[in-house]
Amino acid sequence: MMNINRRDFVKLTTAAAAGIAAVPAFGGLGQAFANTAEERAKQLSPKWTQQTTSVCAFCSVGCGLLVNTDLETKRAVNVEGNPDHPINEGALCAKGAASIQMTENPKRPGKFLYRAPYSGEWEEKDWNFCKTRIAQLIKKSRDESFEKKNAKGQVVNRTMGIASLGSAALDNEECYAMHSFMRSLGLVYVEHQARI
């Protein structure tokens, strides 16, 4: 009997699938919203897909992913760990294993929702409204909390009223631009998810 480890097994099954013109992917995590066995069985219908590599954007580890995209709908139907990636060798943590839900999740709001202060209702808003609202709140907080000098009379030009937490989904250049912008506002508390 042939001895193979998990990595070899994944490679063998991937190679076998690649022998066909396209890789058939079976219902992945993004389709795991079936309520009945019958619905789930329907979801298991093979789909003709294209497989591409990607990187998990949830944290700074940067695990490799294999993404299968439906050739007809152009939507991702399955995401799993890439066994050939040197960092994770096919393994994913719970966040990475669920990463298809970043784009394929019917329960995620697809529009901007705004809840006004003291309101219990969500309202749909467009991007321009959201940008303007965020800018207004940043300016208000900065104006109210800005300190030109500290208790010793030294010039500090800072605000302690706003903090920034960067996302691991940002690349180096985006982080640089965001950091420069925050410092230009006088922020002291600038942190990044990758350091946490």
Q: Give least dist CB 92 to ligand SF4, A.
A: 4
Alpha carbon distance 196, 191 (integer Å): 8
Write the CB contacts of 14 (distance below 8 Å, at least 6 apart in sequence).
Answer: 23, 66, 83
What is the DSSP pairing of strand 146-149 with strand 76-81? unpaired
Output 62 or 166, the one with its CB closest to ligand SF4.
62
Q: Does 92 bind ligand SF4 (CB under 6 A)?
A: yes
Q: Does 11 bind ligand SF4 (CB under 6 A)?
A: no
Applying CB under 6 A, the site for ligand SF4 has a residue count of 11
Q: Give least dist CB 97 to ligand SF4, A.
A: 7
Among 22, 59, 190, 194, the residue binding ligand SF4 under the rule CB under 6 A is 59
Output 55 or 156, the one with its CB closest to ligand SF4.
55
Determine the interface stretch with ligand SF4 among 9-17, 93-101, 169-177, 180-188 (rule: CB under 6 A).
Answer: 93-101
Tell me the one-letter amino acid at 37: A
Length of the chain as a residue count: 196
Among 11, 95, 179, 192, the residue binding ligand SF4 under the rule CB under 6 A is 95
CA-based angle 65:68:72, to the nearest 5?
155
Helix (H) or strand (E) holding 51: strand 47-55
Q: Does 96 bind ligand SF4 (CB under 6 A)?
A: yes
Alpha carbon distance 80, 95 (integer Å): 11
